[in-house]
Structure formats: structure tokens, C-alpha cells
Amino acid sequence: MADRIELMTIDKLEQCIELYMKVFNSEPWNETWSYEVAKERLSDIINTPKFLGFSLYIEDSLIGFIAGNNKKSYQGLTYYLAELCVSNEIQGKGYGTKLLKFLENELKYRDTKSLYLLTSNGGLAEAFYKKNGYQINDNRLVIRKNL
């Protein structure tokens, strides 16, 4: 089966919404994404200034995507990874890493200096990113307040 990666575009948003809900409403996340909320989240991401995302297909079936945006800082461009989503049926087979490496190469080509992301402590996502060479940033602290 041949796979391909292409630029993520608004005309393929519907496929991304369906995949997103299927993945994140299942194990191990067990979230409760409705169609409307998933559509708003992904529409917001794709319509963010300096958006960059890629979709991964096997034949004509969407099996994953990676998306976020660049922001300018005094050090140059920094990419903020908002979503990485890979179909449940093929997780653990290297497709997430393939998307991540493709994005990293594209960011280097575009002279982006760093990549940041948020993920939960512990669990599969943290292990995935560490396996791919990411480190916890001791110079940053995530602070929140419930309203």
C-alpha cells in the first residue's frame, strides 16, 4: 500500500473532523468530541495565521494529520503543534513518526527555529514524543486557572 503526505487544506476538513472524532473519542483518550466542537477546533486551527499542516493518506483514505502554526519571536519562527492524529487501526506502526519527521523537515526548510507542543504528563503521547527526541522544557511552566 502506497502512502502519501500532502498539504492539509480546508477542502479536506470534513475527513479530518471524522478521523479526529474517531481517534480521540476512543481509547486511550476517551474524550467526548461532538461533530460541531471538532469542526470548530479544526477550523480554528486551519484558519490561524501562518497555519501549516499535512495530511497522510494510504491510497485515498485519510489515516492521519498534523497541524499547527508558526509565530514570530526575537529568535525567529517557532512552530506550535496543535494536533497530531493517527487512525486507531494503525497507531504504533510508525505513521505518527513519519508525519512528525515530515513536518520537522519542512519546518527546517522554512527556517523555523523550534517546535513547541502541549501534551498530558505520562501516557502514550508523552512517550511518543520522547521516543522521537523531544524533551520536557524545564524553562517553561504551564499555568492555568479554571473559570
Would you kindly state where each structural domain of the chain is located, as residue ranges?
A: 3-131
What CA–CA distances, in Å, run from 21 to 26, 49, 127?
8, 24, 22
Q: Quick check: 111 pLDDT over 70?
A: yes
Which of the pair, 62 or 120, is modelled with greater confidence? 62
Q: What is the DSSP secondary-structure string of 53-98?
A: EEEEEETTEEEEEEEEEEEEETTEEEEEEEEEEE-GGGTTSSHHHH
Residues 41-79: tens digit of each pLDDT: 999 999 999 999 999 999 999 999 999 999 999 999 999
DSSP class of 6 = E
Distance CA 87, CA 24 (A): 10
Q: What percent of the chain has pLDDT over 90?
A: 80
Higher-pLDDT residue of 69, 137? 69
Q: How far apart are CA 125 and CA 19, in angstroms?
A: 17
The model's pTM is 0.92
Greater model confidence, 93 or 140 = 93
pLDDT of 1 higher than 90: no
- Over range 118-132, report the average pLDDT: 88
Which pLDDT band, with edges at 50, 70 and 90, does 99 fall under?
Answer: very high
3-state secondary structure of 145: coil
pLDDT at 27: 92
Query: Per CATH, which fold does 3-131 belong to?
Result: Aminopeptidase (3.40.630)
Average pLDDT across the chain, whole number: 94
